[in-house]
C-alpha cells in the first residue's frame, strides 16, 4: 500500500495544500510555524477519528472552531487521500474523501466516499458513499467485469453522523477498499517519542511487537526481538556498536518481581549500566533502530526532527535506514532542521513549507529550477538550505 497524494483544506494553517507524487521517503523542511507538525497531525487526526469518532478527534485538538482555518469557519475541513492498494488482485488507485462540517454546533461527516476506476477506462466509481450518517456501500467490488447495474448496493445507516463509514464497514472483508483503508489508517505511526518515557522498568506482561508512539514500551519490544527475531536484534546491536562509542551490548533483563529493564554494556566496565544512566542519544539511537528494523513495517511512519540528540555524522546512515524501511514497504515522512541530514537527502525526496498570508504552501525541491541546477552540479541539499534556497513562496 502506498500513499500517493494528500489534499487538505481548512485544517489549521493547511488551508489548501496538496502533496502530489509522494515518494516512499519524504523529507519536509520549513521554518517554525509553517505547518510541519500540523501536516503529521492530519494523519493522527484521521486515526483518532477512525478509532473513536470525528467529535472526539476534534475535541482533543480544541474542537472544530479551533481546528478549522481562521477566517474559513463556515467551510468544511477536507482531507482527501489517494492510495495505491491491491484489491481483488489488481492494483488500484483508491481515493478516500472526507469532509467534516459543523452543523447546529455539532461536528458531522458531511461527505465520505471511496472511489476507484473499475477498469482502465471510465470515471472513478464510488464504492462507498455516505453523507450525514447514511449512504451505501458496494458488496461485490471484486466483480470487475459486471456492468455497473449488477453491483450490489447495500444501504446503511450509521449509529451517528460523526462516525466514519469505513470504521463500521471496514470490519467486513467484503468491503475490500474500506477494510484496506481502515487498516492503513489504524496502523500508521506518528512518532511522539519521549526519551524519558522509554527509560525505566516496565511491566513484563504480554508480547509487544511494535514500538509505541511515545516509545514507553522500548524494553518490551527489545525483548520481543531478542526472543523471536534474534537476527534482527543482533543487527541492531552491531549498528549500536558502530555508532555509539563504548557500547558493546544491550540486554533486556527480567527482574524477579516481573519487570523488564534494559541494560547497556560498555566494553570498558564489567557491570552493564541501567538505561536510566545511559545518555539520551544512546537511548534514542537504540529506539530508532528498534523502530526501523521492525520485522513488520508500519504502512506509514512519520517522525519529527529525528536528528535531535544524535551525533551529526550519523545522519547519512540514518537517512539510509529510513530508505531501507521504505523499501521494505513502509513509507517514511520526516521533518528536519538538520543540514547534516539534508545533505544525505535526494532532491526528489525534499518538500518544503512556507507561510504566505497566514497559510501554508508546499513546494517540491525538484520543481525549483535553481535547486535542480545546483544539485546537478554536485551541490547538496543541506548546503543549499543553509544558503536560504528554501524560503521563497514562489520558486522560479
Ligand atoms: N485554526 C488555525 N488557523 C490558521 N492557522 C492556525 C490554526 N491553528 C494553528 N495555526 C497556525 O499553525 C502554525 C503551527 O504550525 P506547526 O505545524 O506547529 O508548525 P511547524 O511544526 O512547522 O513549526 C502556527 O503558526 C499557528 O498559528
Ligand atoms: Mg513543529
Does residue 232 sit in the same domain as residue 181?
Answer: no
Q: How far is the CA of 34 from the centre of ligand 2 (A)?
A: 8
Outline where 60-189 has alpha helix (H): 64-67, 165-169, 176-187
**Strand arrangement, sheet containing 331-335:** 189-190, 300-304, 331-335, 25-29, 350-356, 359-364
CB of 35 sitting under 6 A from ligand 1: yes
156 lies in some domain = yes
CB of 37 sitting under 6 A from ligand 1: yes
CB of 10 sitting under 6 A from ligand 1: no
Specify the residue for cell string 514562489.
Answer: 394
Report the run of H or E that residue 384 belongs to, with start and end: helix 381-386
Single out the residue of 112, 83, 39, 327 nearest to residue 183, CA to CA: 83
Does residue 120 sit in the same domain as residue 238?
Answer: no
CB of 69 sitting under 6 A from ligand 1: yes
User: Dihedrals φ, ψ of 161, to 5°?
Assistant: -80, 0
Considering the entire predicted model, what is its pTM? 0.94
Does residue 164 sit in the same domain as residue 111?
Answer: yes
Does residue 179 sit in the same domain as residue 214?
Answer: no
**Strand arrangement, sheet containing 77-87:** 14-19, 2-11, 77-87, 90-103, 106-116, 125-131, 134-138, 153-157
Does residue 29 sit in the same domain as residue 89?
Answer: yes
384 lies in some domain = no
Report the run of H or E that residue 22 belongs to, with start and end: none
Does residue 197 sit in the same domain as residue 182?
Answer: no
Does residue 126 sit in the same domain as residue 211?
Answer: no
Going by alpha carbons, the residue nearest to atom 11 of ligand 1 is 13
> Considering its fold, how many domains does the chain have in total?
2
102 lies in some domain = yes
Question: Under 8 Å CB-to-CB from 64, ≥6 apart: which residues?
Answer: 58, 77, 100, 102, 107
368 lies in some domain = no
Contact 18, 5 (CB under 8 A): yes
Going by alpha carbons, the residue nearest to atom 5 of ligand 1 is 13
CA dihedral 225, 246, 320, 295 (to 10 degrees): 0
DSSP state of 20: -
pLDDT for residue 89: 81
Q: How far is the CA of 146 from the centre of ligand 2 (A)?
A: 49
Does residue 241 sit in the same domain as residue 327?
Answer: yes
Cell, residue 201: 522498568
Does residue 160 sit in the same domain as residue 124?
Answer: yes
d(CA 157, CA 162): 12
381 lies in some domain = no
Last residue of a domain, one of 127, 158, 188: 188
Does residue 138 sit in the same domain as residue 259?
Answer: no
Last residue of a domain, one of 141, 158, 188: 188
Does residue 194 sit in the same domain as residue 60?
Answer: no
CATH number at residue 336: 3.40.50.300
Mean pLDDT by 10 residues, the chain (396 residues): 96 97 97 96 96 97 98 97 89 95 97 90 89 93 74 91 92 86 94 93 89 95 96 96 92 90 90 88 95 96 95 95 95 97 97 94 94 96 91 54
CB of 33 sitting under 6 A from ligand 1: yes
361 lies in some domain = no
Does residue 174 sit in the same domain as residue 195?
Answer: no
CATH number at residue 170: 3.40.50
135 lies in some domain = yes
Q: Beta partners for 96?
A: 81, 114
What's the domain range around 50? 2-188
Report the run of H or E that residue 226 belongs to, with start and end: helix 218-228
Question: Under 8 Å CB-to-CB from 87, ≥6 apart: which residues?
Answer: 94, 116, 141, 142, 176, 177, 180
What angle do helix axes 36-51 and 176-187 make, rounded to 10 degrees? 120
Count of positions (residues) in the chain: 396
User: Dihedrals φ, ψ of 366, to 5°?
Assistant: -65, -15
374 lies in some domain = no
Q: Which ligand 1 atom minimizes the distance to the CA of 71?
A: 3
Last residue of a domain, one of 323, 345, 367: 345
Going by alpha carbons, the residue nearest to atom 24 of ligand 1 is 33
pLDDT for residue 392: 64
- 329 phi-psi bin (left φ>0, alpha ψ -120 to 50, beta other): left
Amino acid at each position: 500500500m502506498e500513499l500517493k497524494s494528500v489534499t487538505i483544506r481548512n485544517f489549521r494553517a493547511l488551508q489548501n495544500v496538496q502533496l502530489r507524487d509522494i515518494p516512499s521517503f519524504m523529507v519536509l523542511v520549513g521554518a517554525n510555524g509553517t505547518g510541519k507538525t500540523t501536516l503529521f497531525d492530519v494523519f493522527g487526526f484521521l486515526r483518532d477519528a477512525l478509532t473513536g469518532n470525528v467529535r472526539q478527534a476534534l475535541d482533543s485538538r480544541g474542537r472544530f472552531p479551533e481546528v478549522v482555518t481562521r477566517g474559513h469557519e463556515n467551510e468544511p475541513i477536507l482531507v482527501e487521500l489517494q492510495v495505491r492498494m491491491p484489491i481483488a488482485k489488481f492494483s488500484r488507485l483508491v481515493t478516500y474523501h472526507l469532509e467534516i462540517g459543523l452543523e447546529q454546533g455539532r461536528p458531522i461527516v458531511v461527505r465520505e466516499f471511496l472511489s476507484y476506476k473499475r477498469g482502465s477506462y471510465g470515471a472513478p466509481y464510488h464504492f462507498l458513499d455516505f453523507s450525514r450518517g447514511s449512504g451505501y456501500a458496494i458488496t461485490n467490488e471484486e466483480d470487475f467485469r459486471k456492468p455497473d447495474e449488477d453491483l450490489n448496493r447495500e444501504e446503511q445507516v450509521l449509529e451517528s453522523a460523526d462516525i466514519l463509514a469505513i470504521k463500521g464497514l471496514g470490519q467486513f472483508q467484503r468491503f475490500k477498499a474500506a477494510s484496506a483503508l481502515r487498516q492503513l489508517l489504524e496502523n500508521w505511526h506518528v512518532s511522539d517519542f519521549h526519551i524519558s518515557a522509554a527509560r525505566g522498568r516496565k511491566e513484563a506482561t504480554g508480547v509487544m511487537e511494535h514500538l509505541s508512539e511515545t516509545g514507553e514500551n522500548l524494553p518490551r519490544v527489545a525483548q520481543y526481538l531478542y526472543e523471536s527475531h534474534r537476527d534482527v536484534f543482533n543487527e541492531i546491536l552491531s549498528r549500536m556498536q558502530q555508532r555509539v562509542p563504548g557500547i558493546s551490548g544491550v540486554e533486556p533483563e527480567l527482574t524477579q518481581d516481573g519487570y523488564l529493564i534494559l541494560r547497556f554494556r560498555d566494553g570498558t566496565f564489567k557491570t552493564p549500566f541501567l538505561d536510566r544512566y545511559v545518555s539520551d542519544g544512546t537511548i534514542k539511537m537504540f529506539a530508532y533502530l528498534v523502530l526501523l528494523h521492525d520485522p513488520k513495517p508500519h504502512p506509514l511512519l512519520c517522525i519529527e526532527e529525528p536528528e535531535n540528540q544524535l551525533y551529526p555524522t550519523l545522519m547519512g546512515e540514518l537517512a539510509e535506514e529510513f530508505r531501507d524501511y521504505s523499501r521494505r514497504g513502509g513509507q517514511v515522512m520526516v521533518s528536519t532542521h538538520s543540514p547534516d541530514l539534508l545533505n544525505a537527502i535526494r532532491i526528489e525526496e525534499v518538500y518544503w513549507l512556507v507561510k504566505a498570508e497566514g497559510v501554508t504552501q508546499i513546494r517540491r525541491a525538484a520543481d525549483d529550477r535553481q535547486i535542480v541546477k545546483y544539485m546537478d552540479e554536485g551541490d547538496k541539499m543541506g548546503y543549499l538550505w543553509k544558503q536560504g534556497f528554501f524560503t521563497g513562496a514562489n520558486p522560479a
